[in-house]
Structure 1
Amino acid sequence: MDYRQVGNSDLYISAITFGAWAAGGWMWGGTERSDAVNAIKASYDLGVTSIDTAPIYGQGTSEEIVGEAIKNIPRDKVQILTKYGMRWDVAKGDFGFKSQDNAGHPIDVYKYSGKDSIIKECEDSLKRLGTDYIDLYQMHWPDKTTPIEESMEAVLRLIEQGKVRQAGVSNYTVEQMQQAETVLSLVANQVPFSMLNQSINETLVPYCLAHKKGILAYSPMERGLLTGKIKPGHQFAEGDHRAGYRFFKEQNIVQTDEFLDKLKPLADEKKASLSQLVIRWTIEQPGITAALVGARNAEQAIQNAQAINLTLSSDELEFINYNLQALELV
């Protein structure tokens, strides 16, 4: 495994990081808890020491699963990345969206990062995770109802108390990062990035490279579309959030499928899956510290972790990028 420094901090994480969104079952139609625990353990055995989770994933379920999976691992051998600022249990802040819990009950999700709320969220996360500190604590989404400075002051207090090692954000613009940095030093921004979604290359990547900030790429598989398993005409199960997601419009699925067909010979030549090829490409991109990749079971987790063994030459990367540029997604 490749371990990379996050920004200028003393925190190092595995280039392939376990993304525990799907493990929480939230928005993915449920989860098998034991399978998710085994997936995390299998990842760890192959060097994936970093796990990204959040309270909102399954309303605590994902963090509990992470806590269960790491309870017999020495704490300093694993890096826990979690978040704050999305509440389903209070109607405060900026209304985010309507959703449902894992039992199918409707919930309203709010983006809220008031100081007292962050302190409470941290305590709740520590209990669910079964630990006394968090390696990277990230604001999940910007909350326009709370001054950024107030939120960062709360995290600064948690750092001073030893409950948080490093501060990060997620889904922040360059301007929002600059505002946060008037209070404390951010080490990373977690943002969506994939072969199909490279919008961060315009401003965020140059800023983070210039100021030595890490970038954690979430949804590098574009929620499963880049695995090659979703074909034109695919029917999603009821409640699957991907049905209304823009990359899953039929014409985009068709184009992506044709693109992946062009990559298949390269993957075959390397005795790798398309998913492994996509993961390796992602962590080769300028500014990307780690790719957050989810798995529902040990088999998927092992496949993801083994992507680190692939090598891509400059010519091969150029070939992939050339075919990417030909896509015209709507």
Structure 2
Amino acid sequence: MADAVEIVVPGPQGDRRVRVTNPDKVYFPEPGITKRELVDYYLTVAEPLLAALLHRPTTLKRFPDGVEGEPFYAKRVPKGAPSWIEGVEITFPSGRTAVEVCPTEPAVLAWAANLGTFDFHPWPVRRSDVDRPDELRIDLDPQPGTTFDDAVRVALVLAEVLADAGVVGHPKTSGGRGVHVLARIRPEHDFVGVRRAVIALAREVTRRIPSLATVSWWKEERGRRVFLDFNQTARDRTIASAWSVRGTPRATVSTPLRWDQLDSVQPADFTLRTVPDWLAEHGDAHADLDDHPQAIDTLLEWADRDARDHGLGDLPYPPDHPKMPGEPPRVQPSRERRPPKS
């Protein structure tokens, strides 16, 4: 077993030398995938992956002991990082700040993979304006008793609703049982405004298919439906990027698709070992994602309508956020209705 190997990674600023320690270390025991294979995979998909990450503050989900170990989210550029690892300061909901990794070239991907990074979690902003998202994200999360196929059915309705709002979405597998849909938007609104637009969008989906989709934040109210997780749009909430390897036993990958491909695949089709061939054959389904930034004015008009005509205001924020203006109580419904003890 080699203790370390040095690889040369070409890039826009010239060649970088990246040291890969313990390259034969097995990260995924079931298929026998090693650290070196993970590094090589990320260099193979570097072009489309960097299109998803470029100039975005990016949280690294690291599995230093492999898929069977305990992962953690690295939200700061680590000490000892090479001088060519760039960063940008972001502000957490608490008001604290950090300088987070901002990928700019393929060598960053190899360096991160050497640290045990499986998935990259980019913020929906660019470093030129870290407070105004340029990406609208919808996370379709199947609840117990539902499947990936259910998430696909909801995603296809979501595509129709987006079209009615004048927005084009781009789907991808989550790498788990869910579906992610992304849309490039103009960076004209803050996190609160974009989240408000996503809530209006999700509510419209649930009106059309109430038996299949829900926006209920509390799990006890979701039932056997697909949850449209509006809070993935909140500040410091992220989803795994396209082309990210997920922490699953078979090393599944979050893979971009065309809408006409979505109902003919399964998440297990896309793994670290199969995706390079898929990419070579089908190309990057999100290659045109950046071409036409879109307005979300119609979605915000829907939000105004919901508040005015239906009394539908904000929904609960994640627990790590401060109490937000207009937010309903963060009390589990069953607890809220519980009569006081005598």
Tell me the TM-score normalized by structure 1: 0.29
Name which one, 1 or 2, has greater alpha-carbon Rg: 2
Tell me the TM-score normalized by structure 2: 0.28
**Larger relative contact order (C-alpha < 8 A, sep ≥ 6)?**
1
